[in-house]
Amino acid sequence: MADHVSMALVGCGNIARAHWRGIRYHAPRIRVTAAVDADIDRAEAMAARTGAKAFASLADALVDGDFDAVDLMLPHDQHEAAAVECFAAGKHVVLEKPMAQDLPSCERILKAAERAGTVFMVAEQAQYWPDAREARALIDGGEIGAVITARACFYDPLNVDPAQPRPWRFQLARAGGGISIDGGAHWIRPLRMMLGEIDEVIAATGRHIADMEGESWAQALFRFRNGVVASFNALLHASPVANTEDFRITGSRGEIVIEHGREGRLLLFNAAHPDGKTVMRTFPGKVDSYGAELHDFSQAVLDGKALEASPAFSLGELRTALAMYRSVESGRWEKVWS
Ligand SMILES: NC(=O)c1ccc[n+]([C@@H]2O[C@H](COP(=O)([O-])OP(=O)(O)OC[C@H]3O[C@@H](n4cnc5c(N)ncnc54)[C@H](O)[C@@H]3O)[C@@H](O)[C@H]2O)c1
């Protein structure tokens, strides 16, 4: 039985650096043997970091590369074609979120995965955030009583070089939406981890960044199956803003706050801790979560371990974003799962 998974990193852009760091420090059973990018300079730079061989296309890598698994980190409009090609070649696949831009595309990917019978994971590092897991444990342990309401706040700095061509994530046809379908997923997943499944949503969105076709801000309410209603606020900001809390979960006997940023803490307020107890720091756990997710994947491939979150579960963030978009059109609450 193999003691490691050999892997191709496909798409050597922004998130690939975080995945490589995760593999290097936290996923010891993965060896990177191929680095693929349509921009060969990026592929070569990643190859130099990892000791892998560089390829300018996935097709070439599938013919000449030596790997059992792929980590697909591509623009959203490339997800389906790349995943289906890799499953047809019998590879195990990690695919960055969202699985695809729409549900029919996700269905085709899921069918290809089933036919291949290999491991399929949709990468969502928030599943491994120690603070989100701890918050869930505190809620389950009754520390804040019954949850009354919650708030998720995702303020992301705009990070675009105006000298470069318009990025793919600013183009609706390539990204499938704006901030909600993209980074918003990392705030929706912890809400689902803490509060359960989302039943329906109502949303307003807007655009305040000229070049971005999708929404650059979103305000939404999520009603969970247990009746709890949470707010979701997302904003891509081009100008300075004050610090925010990532999450605030308010219960009948107390409150949990997860602060934003590298100095962030998880705080618990209740009768025993009326001024707030620091339960944990949120870093470096948040950064290390990429490694935890890839380690989980390697265990699924090598040991047959069940993934922490199945591909079907990972559709929840995409479905929530798509329901938000429908709600903007209809002006009504929209169901997430039907
Ligand atoms: N989990 C997270 O925190 C997180 C953060 C950022 C991005 N992402 C996800 O990662 C994926 C990639 O995002 P990114 O920000 O790294 O994008 P990026 O633009 O920085 O990198 C994408 C890379 O793919 C290459 N590429 C494009 N089409 C290709 C093709 N057909 N074949 C080979 N290479 C190709 C580009 O040249 C580029 O280097 C997206 O799904 C995105 O949602 C996740």
Q: What residue type is 337 in one-letter code? A: W
CA-based R_g, the chain, Å? 20
Q: Kindly state if the Cβ of 251 falls inside 6 Å of ligand 1.
A: no
pLDDT of 160: 87
pLDDT confidence of residue 136: 98
- Based on the fold, state whether residues 148 and 276 are members of the same structural domain: yes
pLDDT of residue 231: 98
Domain membership of residue 312 (yes or no) is: no
Distance CA 265, CA 251 (A): 19
302 located within any domain: no
Strand pairing partners for 153?
A: 233
- Burial of residue 183 (CB within 10 Å: 0-12, 13-18, 19+) is middle
Q: What angle do CA 194, 196, 197 make, to 5 degrees?
A: 140
- Closest residue by Cα to atom 32, ligand 1, is 38
- CATH number of the domain that residue 107 is part of: 3.40.50.720
Nearest Cα residue to atom 36 of ligand 1 = 11
Q: What are phi and psi of 129, to 5 degrees?
A: -65, 120
Q: Give the SS3 label for residue 122.
A: strand
Decide whether any atom of ligand 1 lies within 6 Å of the 317 Cβ: no
Q: Which candidate, 244, 249, 276, 248, places its Cα nearest to that of 260?
A: 244
Q: And the tokens for 264?
A: 């962030």
Could you tell me if 134 and 163 are in contact, meaning their C-beta atoms sit under 8 angstroms apart? Answer: no
pLDDT (0 to 100) of residue 64:
98
Sequence-distant (≥ 6) Cβ neighbours of residue 326 within 8 angstroms: 334
Per-residue pLDDT, 98? 98
Based on the domain organization, do 67 and 101 belong to the same domain?
yes
Q: Identify how many contiguous H helices and E strands the chain contains and give both numbers.
A: 10, 15
Residue 305 lies in a domain: no
Peptide bond into 284 cis (omega under 30): yes
In order along its 338 residues, the chain shows pLDDT tens digits of 689 999 999 999 999 999 999 999 999 999 999 999 999 999 999 999 999 999 999 999 999 999 999 999 999 999 999 999 999 999 999 999 999 999 999 999 999 999 999 999 999 999 999 999 999 999 999 999 999 999 999 999 998 888 899 999 999 999 999 999 999 999 999 999 999 999 999 999 999 998 999 999 999 999 999 999 999 999 999 999 999 899 999 999 999 999 999 999 999 999 999 999 999 999 999 999 999 999 999 999 999 999 999 999 999 999 999 999 999 999 999 999 98
For residue 98, cis peptide bond before it (omega within 30 degrees of 0): yes
Of 74, 94, 174, the one to substitute when testing ligand 1's pocket (max ligand atoms within 8 A of C-beta) is: 74
- pLDDT score for 97: 98
What local confidence, expressed as pLDDT, does residue 2 receive?
85
CA 246 to chain centre: 15
Domain boundary among 123, 152, 167: 123
CATH of the domain at 234: 3.30.360.10
Contact 193, 208 (CB under 8 A): no
Same domain membership, residue 179 and residue 255: yes
- What distance in angstroms lies between residue 78's CA and the mean position of ligand 1's atoms? 9
User: Contact, 186 vs 282, CB < 8 A?
Assistant: no
Q: Would you call 204 helix, strand, or coil by DSSP? A: strand
For the chain, how many structural domains are there in total? 2
For residues 191 and 135, give the distance between their C-alpha atoms in angstroms, rounded to a whole number.
10
Same domain, 109 and 205: no
Domain identity same for 272 and 189: yes
Q: What is the pLDDT of residue 308?
A: 98
Query: For residue 323, what are the domain limits?
Result: 127-287+318-335
Pair (117, 131) in one structural domain:
no
Question: What is the residue whose two structure tokens read 């650096």?
Answer: 17
Q: Longest C-alpha distance within the chain, in Å? A: 63
Query: What pTM did the predictor assign?
Result: 0.98
The first and second tokens of residue 63, run together, are 């013919």
Ligand 1 pocket: which of 73, 78, 156, 171 to mutate (most atoms within 8 A of CB): 73
Q: What is the pLDDT of residue 192?
A: 98
Evaluate whether 169 touches 13 at the Cβ level (below 8 Å): no
Please spell the DSSP secondary structure of 237-249, one letter per residue: ESS-----EEEEE
Q: Which of 62, 95, 123 is the last residue of a domain?
A: 123
Residues 63 and 9 in one domain: yes
What is d(CA 216, CA 237) in angstroms, rounded to the nearest whole number?
Answer: 8
- Residue having the nearest C-alpha atom to atom 25 of ligand 1: 11
